[in-house]
Structure 1
């Protein structure tokens, strides 16, 4: 069965975005090997706002070739958008109801794991429905003081078991947990 992997960056004080949605504090080091993560998935789950912002994003023509390759890999994945809006999109399937059942159906399909990309509202929904199989949180060496917190308005306590830790040259620490 496929796993839903929440893989995202967070600040030391627990925010996934700044107060104005900024993510300029995120570090992408070459030793993070993000390509290996992208190779391990074949599906991405988006909220509508995140999909509209990033689901079809194209790197600037002057961007580094590695960045262009990352976006090419991201855009080769199956995309599902969870939204109250039900719209036709050639590049994604929109899901507007019965999230838990539809996620289970997708997880039961053949293939690789699933990246729960976000945004914050979708992440909160998945956490509260116990749909996250792996939490891969990269803690960045910055504190913002305010913004969008990762864990907000939980319906209940979540016990997590640490299964891996990686430290990168930038000081980013990747913590991988499974729900207990």
Structure 2
């Protein structure tokens, strides 16, 4: 069965965005091998705001070949957008209700794993509904002091089992947990 993987950058003090939504602190080093992660998934789950910002993002024409390839790989995935609004752009499947049932249906299909991209509201919903199977949290060597926290107003404790740790030359430490 497919797994829902939350792959996310977080600051040392636990924020996924700065106070103004900024993510300019995120580091992407070659040794992080993000291409390998992308090749392990065939589906991406977005919230509507994140989808609006990144679901159809195109890098500038003068962007590096690596960035062009990254976005090409992202856009080759099947996309689901979880939104209360009844939208349809022909590029993604929009899910409006019965989130847990739809996720169970998608997980039961043949194929690769699923990337829970976010945003924060969707991540919180998935955590509360116990729909995240794997947490791939990349802790970046910066403290912001304020912003949007990863774990906010949890309904109950989230118990995890550490399965792997990766340390990158940039100082980013990736912690990979499975849900218990």
Structure-1-length-normalised TM-score: 0.99
Q: Deviation string for 1:105-149 (max 9, x for gaps)? A: 000000000000000000000000000000000000000000000
C-alpha separation in 1, matches of 2:155 and 2:88: 32
Describe how 1:118-129 pairs up with structure 2 within 5 A: 118-129=118-129
User: SS of the counterpart of 1:122?
Assistant: helix
User: SS of the counterpart of 1:125?
Assistant: helix
How many corresponding residue pairs? 180
Give the stretch that moved more between structures: 68-77 or 84-93: 84-93
User: SS of the counterpart of 2:79?
Assistant: strand
Q: Which residue of 2 aligns with 1:41?
A: 41
Deviation at 1:21, TM superposition (A): 0.4
Q: Deviation string for 1:44-96 (max 9, x for gaps)? A: 00000000000000011111110010000000000000000111211100001
Q: Which residue of 2 aligns with 1:95?
A: 95
Deviation at 1:34, TM superposition (A): 0.2
Q: Which residue of 2 aligns with 1:19?
A: 19
C-alpha separation in 2, matches of 1:102 and 1:158: 22
Gaps of 5+ in 1: none
Gaps of 5+ in 2: none
Q: Which residue of 2 aligns with 1:4?
A: 4
C-alpha separation in 2, matches of 1:59 and 1:165: 31
C-alpha separation in 1, matches of 2:20 and 2:75: 26
Q: What is the RMSD of the two structures over their aligned residues, measured on CA atoms?
A: 0.4
C-alpha separation in 2, matches of 1:88 and 1:148: 28
Describe how 1:32-111 pairs up with structure 2 within 5 A: 32-111=32-111
C-alpha separation in 1, matches of 2:61 and 2:89: 25
Structure-2-length-normalised TM-score: 0.99
Q: Which residue of 2 aligns with 1:133?
A: 133
Moved over 2 A (4+): none
